[in-house]
Amino acid sequence: MSATMFLFLLYVIPFLIGIITAYCLKKYNRKIWPPVVIFALLITLFFLCSENLPAVTKLYYRVTGHYNIEAVGFYLLFAMRSCSGFFTGTLTGYVLQRLK
């Protein structure tokens, strides 16, 4: 599998799960904004962490014992990609429920 396809799936699968989550939250009369705010905060946190990779890598080293700046950068990229998929999927599911 190519890297482009992997990054595409890393966005699409959480996007679809976000739509299902929004549908289930609406079905059980729950508010949809707490997950949306949480995903927005996580995306912001991951973006801010990616601005200073050596500091985040040192924190990662304290927790796991492995020091690899490049790997931490990819972990943050993947986390931002999947959280943005959940975020846009949840918003899309909400809009689809409102149009219904």
Other CB atoms within 10 Å distance of the CB of residue 94: 21
Q: What is the pLDDT of residue 26?
A: 87
Q: Which two tokens stand for residue 11?
A: 């966005």
pLDDT at 53 over 90: yes
pLDDT digits (tens, 9 = 90+) for 26-43: 889 898 888 889 999 999
Provide the residue ranges of all domains of the chain, joining segments of one domain with +: 3-99
Question: Is the Cβ–Cβ distance between 10 and 78 less than 8 Å?
Answer: yes
pLDDT digits (tens, 9 = 90+) for 56-99: 999 999 999 999 999 999 999 999 999 999 999 999 998 988 88
Report the amino acid identity of residue 21. Answer: T
pLDDT at 48 over 80: yes
